[in-house]
Amino acid sequence: MTHRRNTYRVNYLLVSAFIVVVIASFVLAAFLARDLTVTYVENEFASRKVEVLEYNIGPFNDFFHNRIPEISFYQGYLDSTGVSVYADSIFHAYPFVERVVFYDVSLSNERVDYGFSANDLVVYPKGVYQFSAGANGADLLPLVPKSGHLPLSLSDDFNNMAAKFAAFIERVDTTRALQDDDIFKVFYAVTPGKICYMNIPRRDDLKAYKELMYGRNSHEVVYEQDILTYFIDPQKLSLINIIPELYQRVQIQPLVYESIDTDPDLLTTETPLPGALADYKIYFSSSRTFLQSEINRRFLPVMAGVIAIYLLLAVIAYLIYRNLYVNERMFKLQYDFINNLTHEFKTPVSVIKIAGNNIRSAKQLSDPERVHYGRILDEEADKLNNLMNTLLSFTQIENKSIKIKREEVDLHEFCDKVLKASQFKYGDLTLRCKVDVKRTLYIDPVLLGSIFQNLIDNAYKYSKPANKVLDITLTQNKKQIVMRFADKGIGIAKKELMHIFKKFYRVQNQYNQQGSVGLGLAFCKELVNFMGGAISVESELGKGTIFTIVFPLD
């Protein structure tokens, strides 16, 4: 028989190249993931400052768009008491407003020797009041003495608003509604730190002012307008860091501020404040080590995803490999089986043929020769018969078509018989059988005999000629009968133990070259399981093997 030692050759170079490629691509993926996370976090550091700005500028926008225009509801008829209440509520709600100056303004065609005049129209402050955010609410400070002269710091704001307003009256088309653009340009004056606002008059009032300007009124009239100047301190804008994971420090600083910190590890960015806050900016700074922890926090889930993908790939690669390996192994098993089976059949057939030829060609046979040839023919026919029976029984047991004929078996008697038969079969086998069982076992004696026979055959086959020893011990515990077959043979390697009960599986060794098809143990296991028991094996290479069979008593 030609024996193929190994039909499956692992291409180690290919496997190593594959592993190297997988590891390299994994390292590359990890490196890229890290790099992208760093870039992403740094970009966020530079761009998300807008969110912080928008969030913190909210109260200022509310003040500018909602609270300032409230003044227009009073149509110029606000007095210092009314403004005091109003200013108080502003100081309370908006801490960044630190002062409000109220100009109670009159527009008239009478002769007044102060104020701003355009043609016949005179715009002059009737009274100017200043309100400051103080412990007891607003302070009322009348600023215009009877002379009507304003301190220089206040006259600027007044003159600017009055001049813009007079120019507007001159050009306004009173047949049309006011444009938003006009409203912002004329009635607001926004400079860093200050917002000036004049109440927006109705269209009828504008008409009246125009008539005043061009002297169309014969009698003297006086109209009222209100101008308020709000003094803003951007430093008092409450600042909340809504992205603390990116920005370590957030501050309001003057526009010209430059950090004196020269640490190269400090990352900074800034965004200017708008409108009346414009000479200040929000200044953001974080150290690299601080950002590092954010980078790590974001990198970990990305890395976990990369690892999960690679694990999945590894599992798929392993399954493909295992599939190929199993197919190869199946092919090898079938190949070996057919080889062995043919060999098993061929050997007795050729012996029978030789014996037949000898008998035919002999002129006459002596009695010893006749007995000799008879015995040979008998033995070889038995071998063929046994082989057929094993294959047949196996097929039957696999198809569950075998019938169990259970009966009460006295294990002492049973073992005696097996011992005698085996000693006759294997003269050089030291077979000891110890039975420590007090009751009978309800089992099929023929199938049990088959199991014993297979295990004895194996103990004989897989032991060196000088050391063919088998100890069979039968013991009983509360619920089970335990049968132990311990030999001192060649033993079985650990990695083979899980396979030896598989059909057609043979361990490669010099002892199973002949008469082994790899069915014996598979057959034993099927029989044992079929009768409700379990079989297990322990072994040590070079020392021996122990098969243990357990049958339940009930």
Instruction: Kindly list the distances between the CA atom of residue 481 and the CA atoms of 442, 484, 485, 527, in Å, as whole numbers in the listed order.
Output: 11, 10, 13, 16
Beta bridge partners of 471: 432, 486
Is the CB of residue 70 less than 8 Å from the CB of residue 82? no
Taking the complex as a whole, the smallest distance from the CB of residue 378 to ligand ADP amounts, in Å, to: 23
Interface of this chain with ligand ADP, residues 515 to 554, rule: CB under 6 A: 516-522, 545
> Closest CB to ligand ADP among 230 and 452?
452
Q: Using the structure block, give the residue that is written with the tokens 């009256």.
A: 169
Taking the complex as a whole, the smallest distance from the CB of residue 403 to ligand ADP amounts, in Å, to: 24
Taking the complex as a whole, the smallest distance from the CB of residue 298 to ligand ADP amounts, in Å, to: 56
Piece in contact with ligand ADP (CB under 6 A), picked from 103-111, 397-405, 510-518, 527-535: 510-518
Distance between CA 366 and CA 334 in Å, rounded?
Answer: 45
Candidate residues 132, 251, 453, 512; the one interacting with ligand ADP per rule CB under 6 A: 512
Size of the site for ligand ADP (CB under 6 A): 22
User: What is the token pair recorded at 439?
Assistant: 């009751």
Tell me: does residue 286 bind ligand ADP (CB under 6 A).
Answer: no
Instruction: Kindly list the distances between the CA atom of residue 403 and the CA atoms of 124, 408, 532, in Å, as whole numbers in the listed order.
Output: 125, 16, 14
Candidate residues 117, 229, 393, 458; the one interacting with ligand ADP per rule CB under 6 A: 458
Taking the complex as a whole, the smallest distance from the CB of residue 500 to ligand ADP amounts, in Å, to: 4
Tell me: does residue 507 bind ligand ADP (CB under 6 A).
Answer: yes
Tell me: does residue 500 bind ligand ADP (CB under 6 A).
Answer: yes
Taking the complex as a whole, the smallest distance from the CB of residue 404 to ligand ADP amounts, in Å, to: 22
Instruction: Kindly list the distances between the CA atom of residue 274 and the CA atoms of 64, 98, 280, 318, 510, in Å, as whole numbers in the listed order.
Output: 12, 18, 9, 62, 93
Which amino acid type is present at position 413?
E
Piece in contact with ligand ADP (CB under 6 A), picked from 179-187, 220-228, 318-326, 504-512: 504-512
Piece in contact with ligand ADP (CB under 6 A), picked from 227-235, 265-273, 418-426, 509-517: 509-517
Q: Using the structure block, give the residue that is written with the tokens 């309800």.
A: 442
Classified as helix, coil or strand, 255 is coil
Distance between CA 368 and CA 345 in Å, rounded?
Answer: 27
Residue 164: count of CB within 10 angstroms of its CB: 17
Q: DSSP string of 159-184?
A: HHHHHHHHHHHHH--TTSPPPHHHHH
Distance between CA 282 and CA 274 in Å, rounded?
Answer: 11
Interface of this chain with ligand ADP, residues 218 to 277, rule: CB under 6 A: none
Taking the complex as a whole, the smallest distance from the CB of residue 400 to ligand ADP amounts, in Å, to: 21
> Closest CB to ligand ADP among 135 and 466?
466
Q: DSSP string of 192-215?
A: TTEEEEEPPPPHHHHHHHHHHHTT
Tell me: does residue 76 bind ligand ADP (CB under 6 A).
Answer: no
Exposure string of 269-290, with b = 16+ CB inside 10 Å and e = fewer, is: bbeebeebbeebbbbbbbeeeb
Tell me: does residue 422 bind ligand ADP (CB under 6 A).
Answer: no
Taking the complex as a whole, the smallest distance from the CB of residue 503 to ligand ADP amounts, in Å, to: 8
Candidate residues 237, 267, 462, 474; the one interacting with ligand ADP per rule CB under 6 A: 462
Tell me: does residue 468 bind ligand ADP (CB under 6 A).
Answer: no
**Which H/E stretch holds residue 389?**
helix 367-398
> Closest CB to ligand ADP among 305 and 542?
542
> Closest CB to ligand ADP among 198 and 521?
521
> Closest CB to ligand ADP among 227 and 492?
492
Tell me: does residue 411 bind ligand ADP (CB under 6 A).
Answer: no
Tell me: does residue 448 bind ligand ADP (CB under 6 A).
Answer: no
Ranked by CB distance to ligand ADP, the top (closest) residue is: 520
Largest CA distance in the chain: 173
Residues of this chain that interact with ligand ADP (CB under 6 A) are: 458-459, 462, 487, 489-492, 500, 505-507, 509, 512, 516-522, 545
